[in-house]
Amino acid sequence: MIVSKFNRTFRALSAGAALSIMMAAAPSAFAETPADTLVEGFAFDDIITMDPGEAFELSTAEVTSNTYSLLVRLDMSDTSKVKGDLADTWSVSDDGLTYTFKLKPGMKFASGNPITAEDVAWSFERAVKLDKSPAFILTQFGINGDNVTEKAKATDDSTFVFTVDKPYAPSFVLNCLTATVASVVDKKLVMDHVKSVTPTAEYKYDNDFGNEWLKTAYAGSGAYTLRQWRANEVVVMERNDNYYGEKAKLNRVIYRFMKESSAQRLALEAGDIDIARNLEPGDLDAVSKNADLTTVSAPKGTVYYVSLNSKNENLKKPEVQEAFKYLVDYDAISSTLIKGIGEIHQTFLPKGQLGAIDDKPYKLDVAKAKELLEKAGLKDGFSVTMDVRNTQPVTGIAESMQQSLAQAGVKMEIIPGDGKQTLTKFRARTHDMYIGNWGSDYFDPNSNADTFTSNPDNSDAGTVKTLAWRNTWEAPELDKETKAALLERDGAKRAAMYEDVQKKFLANSPFVIIFQQIEVAGARKSLKDFKLGPSFDTNYVGPIGKE
């Protein structure tokens, strides 16, 4: 009786009022969420802005991908390709420098304003001129604040032309345009909310392009609109009835901020939420045994690695680097620490990306490692430190490596710290060893290949601070091959080049890559068509329905 009454009341109220009641209700007060609403428990404490021209956090990417449109999106049936979103068709000039996009006709923003090529051009212009963290995804094509209006322009209401500085592989350019920073905003609506600013040497424009307003507001055309975001509390999205594509199945999506895995599991079991997004292995196992629940998973574009700093003369030796790859108990890590949330993966390109390989040549082999250490002149071992963030599974992996390294005579001291402490040391190149993760900035092999191989200035004053730079490692031949792959327009040949780079990297590099993340979630069995995508901006909620 209480359940029925609550649900009727929820549907009758506005989203904000209904949410307030739902958040305040005791878990025992009801046993299901409203039929027209999806409720997810989600640890989204990384969100700092909802402006797609500024946002560069994983959780924000999920929200913007459901609320904003792009020219093209990843093709979920084959993620090595893209498909049109706002773009109906596109072509590339013979010289490989000019991309011409024709928009689908009759599309509207959530506001009701028509979507035109001018909106696309202005969205690129504002992202480049704002020059926030993700702007490099566009500026790497030779675009800057001075030339963007010529390089990204509308030639008529339905035609957008994008000009790049080199004949890049079309797959590279198009994959970059699937990133959040390429989201198209409603120019007319945003211009009504721009804030005047005084130009400075660092920022020479007289307005903020609506940046302050869009931090919490919305000006998109996606399947859902953003109704509300309260930091570390809630995100509310409502169906966009002006959406040009297949309409969202449910009226509303609510992300409830829930940090702890156990709290999410309990809320899911009680029916307070439909989906639990941040389950650790123990809670995931409990959900899998519940007849009313199910689990969903998908490999993500994030790899976990151990970084060996070449400033350490012992770690600089190729034999030591290879020995350490034989001193990881991959099987034990797989069966315990990352069970259900990761899979052993030893190369820098995650599964699903163009050219990714699944070679796994290394396994725990203490005898082989001792042989390599002796070859390096370190028969009796040596001492080393590892900076480790106080989270799982990285702490457990560090402790596992500590034990296996000891079997070969290497004494590893674990230096624990929070994320800021460990990352600060790593970025300053003052670590011996560091365990971390890297997620692709955009769904193209260059994102990972570049950061793991490129290091144009290996001095401490270097400004291109890739992972190779952080490890004080130079690999000019691999970097050269990676750069060449950017200009290979034949997709099969480009994939083969990345395969070759990975094999060479595996055999000789100061990175011990251990596993690829698998995103997991627990869900009510009553949900229909709930899937997780291959990247953090492809977790689409529009297709989800309820029985």
Give the tens place of pLDDT for each residue, 375-408.
999 999 999 999 999 888 999 999 999 999 999 9
For domain 299-519, give the CATH superfamily. Dipeptide-binding Protein; Domain 3 (3.10.105.10)
- Going by their DSSP bridges, the two strands 342-344 and 275-276 should be labelled as unpaired
Banded model confidence at residue 13, pLDDT cuts 50, 70, 90: very low
Spatial separation of the C-alpha atoms in residues 114 and 110, rounded to whole Å: 9
Spatial separation of the C-alpha atoms in residues 69 and 175, rounded to whole Å: 15
Handedness of CA 136, 137, 142, 143 (dihedral sign): negative
pTM, two decimals, is 0.86
> Residue type at 323?
A
At 32 the pLDDT is 84
Could you tell me the CA-to-CA distances from 512 to 244, 362, 437 in Å, in that order? Answer: 46, 10, 11
Banded model confidence at residue 31, pLDDT cuts 50, 70, 90: low
Tokens of 461: 């004053």
Higher pLDDT, residue 441 or 114? 114
What is the dotted CATH code of the domain comprising 31-67+222-292+525-546?
Answer: 3.40.190.10
- With contact defined as beta carbons under 8 Å apart, do 416 and 402 qualify? no
What's the CA angle centered on 507, arms 501 and 509, to 5 degrees?
Answer: 80
Query: What percent helix, strand, coil does the chain show, rounded to 5?
Result: 35, 20, 45
Spatial separation of the C-alpha atoms in residues 19 and 149, rounded to whole Å: 43
Strand ranges for 188-313 from DSSP E: 224-230, 234-239, 252-257, 275-276, 293-308
Of the candidate CATH numbers 3.40.718.10, 3.30.565.10, 3.90.76.10, 3.30.420.40, the domain formed by 68-189 belongs to: 3.90.76.10
Give the tens place of pLDDT for each residue, 119-170.
999 999 999 999 999 999 999 999 999 999 999 999 999 999 999 999 999 9
- With contact defined as beta carbons under 8 Å apart, do 301 and 537 qualify? no
Banded model confidence at residue 30, pLDDT cuts 50, 70, 90: very low
Give the tens place of pLDDT for each residue, 436-491.
999 898 999 999 999 999 999 999 999 899 999 999 999 999 999 999 999 999 99
- With contact defined as beta carbons under 8 Å apart, do 103 and 120 qualify? yes
- Going by their DSSP bridges, the two strands 159-163 and 152-156 should be labelled as antiparallel
In the chain, domain spans: 31-67+222-292+525-546, 68-189, 299-519
Banded model confidence at residue 297, pLDDT cuts 50, 70, 90: very high
> Residue type at 141?
F
Start-to-end CA span in the chain (Å): 20
